Amino acid sequence: MKTTISVAGIDLELIDAGSGFPLLFLHGGQGLLPDHQYVDLLSKKFRVIAPSHPGFGKSGLPDWLDSVDDISYCYLELMDKLMLGQFNLVGCSIGGWLAAEIATKVPERIRKLVLVGPVGVKTGPPDKLDIPDIFATPQNQLQTLLFHDPSKQNPDFSKMSDDELAVLVRNRETLALLTWEPYMHNPKLSHRLHRVIAPTLLLRGAHDGLLSAEYLEAYAQLLPDSRIETIADAGHAPQIERPEAFTSAVLSFLNS
């Protein structure tokens, strides 16, 4: 069920589906789209709470909010408002960054943590980007970095409504606001990840052109209890390209 909830003065668009132990799902840069299957699949086993980040979808974006860290505090307040104690936490790409930030702030409340192609830390030399510059990459080239089979994921803008196009542009604009400087990371996060106590699964699509296997390995080394799995025939967003395989990997980990 999609609804709207006010948190810290922000109207958040929110999906609350399923029943059972709560799972907070934090989407990637594509936003939370209605045709994504993973929410329905996960909600068969858990109560899935999936907000559209501030500035994404139809969620509000106040003037004072300009960082991923700001959003992490909004979601802590959301969990309090929903009266959730412990919960599972799953985040994809920028949502993985958000999930990592949250897990350092309230480590005792996270039962298990899943980071899917997460950004958020700097692992390489200071004069080289860890993640390719998505804002300087032509759309057709960006699709090949994001997806194993971009031909199945190319948006048909001619068939989109004005409302859908507005959401698409707004998502990209907000993504730039949150990740531009410093690019795709919080310099402080790598010094905080040792606080995470939840068992952590890091997932990567085997054909991810944005996030290298070496980057994910370096990320995993910053977490006390982590392991890495790879999803075949998928790029940076395995939850979109291979929702069944993605859900199977996540559920296997959360139920183990």
Residue range 131-142, pLDDT digits in tens: 999 999 998 899
pLDDT tier for residue 226 given thresholds of 50, 70 and 90: very high
In this predicted structure, the answer to whether residue 75 has a pLDDT above a threshold of 90 is yes
What's residue 50's pLDDT? 96
Mean pLDDT computed over 135-157: 88
> Which residue, chain included where needed, has tokens 């139920």?
255
Q: Report the amino acid identity of residue 92.
A: C
Q: How far apart are CA 254 and CA 256, in angstroms?
A: 6
What's the pLDDT score for residue 161?
A: 87
pLDDT at 114 over 90: yes
Name the residue with tokens 């069920």.
1
Is the sign of the CA dihedral 125, 127, 128, 130 positive or negative?
positive
Stretch among 42-46, 158-162, 232-236 having the lowest mean pLDDT: 158-162
* Residue 254, Cβ density class (10 Å: 0-12 exposed, 13-18 middle, ≥19 buried): buried
Q: List, in order, residues 6 or more apart from 116 with CB less than 8 Å away.
A: 28, 90, 91, 92, 93, 95, 96, 202, 203, 204, 238, 239, 246
Written out in words, the top-level CATH class of the domain with range 2-255 is: alpha beta
Q: Do 170 and 56 meet the contact criterion of CB atoms below 8 Å apart?
A: yes
Closest CA to 252 of 88, 101, 103: 88
What is the pLDDT at residue 2? 82
Q: With 80 as the cut, is the pLDDT of residue 172 above it?
A: yes
Predicted confidence band of residue 60 (pLDDT cuts 50, 70, 90): very high
Query: For the residues 193-197, what does the mean pLDDT come to?
Result: 98
Least confident of 14-23, 107-116, 154-163: 154-163
Query: Could you tell me if 114 and 91 are in contact, meaning their C-beta atoms sit under 8 angstroms apart?
Result: yes
- Which position has the token pair 């183990």? 256
CA distance 21 to 248: 17
CA-to-CA distance for 165 and 188, rounded, in angstroms?
35
Min mean pLDDT across 14-18, 136-140, 150-154 is at 150-154
Cα–Cα dist 180/48, whole Å: 30
Mean pLDDT (whole number) for 61-67:
95
pLDDT at 156 over 80: no
Q: In this predicted model, which residue has the larger pLDDT, 153 or 247? A: 247
Tokens of 113: 């943590």
* Mean pLDDT computed over every residue of the chain: 94
- Give percent above pLDDT 90 in the chain: 87
46 vs 13, 50, 96, 104, 239, CA distance in Å?
Answer: 19, 12, 19, 23, 16
> pTM here?
0.96
32 vs 126: CA distance, rounded Å = 32
In angstroms, what CA-CA distances link 94 with 80, 119, 158, 162? 22, 6, 28, 26
pLDDT bin (cut points 50, 70, 90) of residue 78 is very high
